[in-house]
């Protein structure tokens, strides 16, 4: 029988360090908010030099703000169980009388809060600095797309957190491989539609691809022709991806736990 109270405490306990930690060192807020603006500004000035419409600068700012979530998923979600294994915490999670999904859920919620501080601040400052006008088509749809994107994206991170344990130290290379190419194929700094239908379709396996595309259509009114797919279709796909990745996370977690019990892969022998 599932002890919901115990699992809720596990979620809160795992989210707490990430939420509190985001405010313990004020200098981190400065670096997390202002330094990403430098990379965004480079693309923004490039578009200005080309004489592109100002909406493209808005696309860049939105995409640049969303990179925070992708980096958090790669380095603070997907790689987290491996680091917990390195310091000896993973075996404590396995021995605790709680669902391991509660640990992953806490990591995800804490990461979303921590990253949202940076992303929303970067987005707001970028729009103010470059004077980008926002005309939201549907606030309700925008909120639905935003949260579905985060749920699906962190569901992917939850699934990868178990799979990364298979590769050991190779996660450094794996995360690096997933970082920059996804910026390109997911259209962080330009409409993904420009890559062609099939490339954009393949890139849609990463939830942030469709999430960004839908948010751009909803935040910048009149830019529906820039979109890859209609927003309602992208919402449907995001719902499917959310369910698929969270279910995949559960399956991968059970697989790794059973593998660890048989082969002893989940603990460090020298500890």
Residue 48: count other Cβ atoms within 10 Å of its Cβ.
Answer: 13
- Give all strands (DSSP E) within 10-112, no chain letters: none
220, β-bridge pairs: 135
- In the chain, where the domains are located: 4-263
pLDDT in tens, 221-269: 777 778 898 999 999 999 999 999 999 988 888 887 777 667 666 655 4
Provide the sign of the torsion angle of the four alpha carbons 85, 242, 153, 175, taken in this order: positive
Using one digit for the tens of pLDDT, what is the confidence trace for 114-144?
A: 888 888 888 988 889 888 888 888 899 999 9
- Three-state DSSP state, 220: strand
For the chain, what is the radius of gyration of the CA atoms?
A: 19
Per-residue pLDDT band at 169 (split at 50, 70, 90)? low
For residue 217, the surrounding DSSP H or E stretch is helix 207-219
pLDDT band for 271, please (50, 70, 90 cuts). very low
Alpha-carbon distance 86 to 207, whole Å? Answer: 29
Angle at 151 between CA 170 and CA 195, to 5 degrees: 70
What would the pLDDT profile of 209-222 be if each residue is shown by its tens digit?
Answer: 999 999 999 998 77
Q: How far apart are CA 188 and CA 209, in angstroms?
A: 8
Please choose, from the candidates 61, 53, 79, 49, the residue with its C-alpha nearest in 3D space to the C-alpha of residue 178: 79
- The confidence score (pLDDT) of residue 198 equals 93
- Model confidence pLDDT, tens digit, residues 185-203: 998 998 999 999 999 999 9
Q: What is the rounded CA–CA span in Å between residue 218 and residue 13?
A: 36
């Amino acid at each position: 029988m599932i002890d919901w109270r115990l699992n809720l405490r596990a979620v809160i306990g795992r989210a707490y360090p990430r939420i509190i930690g985001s405010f313990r060192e004020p200098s981190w807020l400065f670096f997390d908010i202002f330094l990403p603006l430098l990379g965004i500004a480079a693309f923004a000035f490039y578009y200005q030099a080309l004489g592109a419409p100002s909406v493209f600068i808005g696309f860049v700012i939105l995409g640049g703000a969303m990179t925070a979530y992708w980096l958090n998923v790669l380095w603070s979600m997907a790689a987290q169980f491996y680091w917990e294994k390195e310091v000896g915490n993973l075996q404590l999670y396995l021995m605790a009388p709680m669902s391991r999904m509660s640990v992953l859920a806490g990591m995800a919620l804490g990461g979303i809060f921590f990253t949202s501080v940076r992303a929303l601040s970067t987005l707001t400052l970028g729009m103010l600095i470059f004077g980008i006008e926002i005309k939201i088509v549907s606030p309700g749809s925008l909120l639905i797309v935003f949260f579905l994107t985060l749920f699906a994206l962190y569901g992917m991170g939850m699934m990868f957190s178990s799979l990364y344990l298979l590769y050991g130290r190779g996660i450094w290379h794996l995360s690096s491989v997933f970082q920059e190419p996804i910026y390109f194929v997911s259209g962080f700094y330009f409409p993904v539609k420009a890559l062609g239908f099939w490339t954009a379709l393949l890139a849609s396996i990463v939830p942030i691809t469709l999430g960004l595309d839908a948010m751009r259509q909803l935040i910048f009114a009149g830019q529906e022709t820039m979109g890859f797919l209609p927003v309602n279709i992208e919402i449907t796909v995001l719902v499917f991806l959310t369910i698929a990745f969270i279910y995949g996370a559960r399956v991968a977690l059970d697989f790794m736990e059973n593998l660890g019990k048989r082969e002893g892969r989940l603990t460090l022998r020298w500890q």
